[in-house]
Structure 1
Amino acid sequence: MPIRYTDELKTHAVDLVIHAQADSSTANGAIRRVAKELALSSETLCTWVRNYKSSGAMTPAQSIDLEAENKRLRAELAETNRANEILKKAVTFPESCPVDLVDRQFTAASPNLLLAG
């Protein structure tokens, strides 16, 4: 009669192997080590890991990459929001100035426009 393992044990064993394989210093022999620690057959654990990987689930290395990408994108978004705020203030600035001051700045900055008009 085959041994029935709980889903919790399978998940825990696969997680241990996946994390060990993600680190190059512990990747070699990870399945054998974890199988020995949990008193499992290496073949059984290898099958669980193969099924997990073929299911398309994320590995820890992929999730770390996603976390780094997420952090980078959040920083980029914050910088874009700061730039937007500056631009909004710049657009509303002439509205808050007296009209003659705006006209003087315009004519002083571009005297050629007066000659063309």
Structure 2
Amino acid sequence: MMKKSTKFSPEVRERAVRMVFESRGDHGSQWAAIESIAPKIGCSAQTLCNWVRQYERNTGQRDGTTTAEADRIKQLERENRELKKANEILRLASAFFAQAELDRRFKS
């Protein structure tokens, strides 16, 4: 059975996280607040918990990689892959032309 994937807008995510922080005092724990709010948003408690944890990382309340850092890492990894491909193409082209130069010298 395939998992249903629902994409939530950034505004919905922000509102849900804000609701968790605002209702913390009404519940015994943060997890209780998350379990209370998640059904109202239409997501699982674990999904909302992930959003809260990422918000805490982004605001410096929790150690870990921020969203901006993760995006930058992805960009650098993509750039690194492209550069490796370009280097491989240049290496092969260099070998090809070196061999062609050798063949030309032997034919002369």
TM-score by length of 2: 0.46
Q: Which has the larger radius of gyration?
A: 1
**Higher normalized contact order (CA 8 Å, seq sep 6+, divided by chain length):** 1
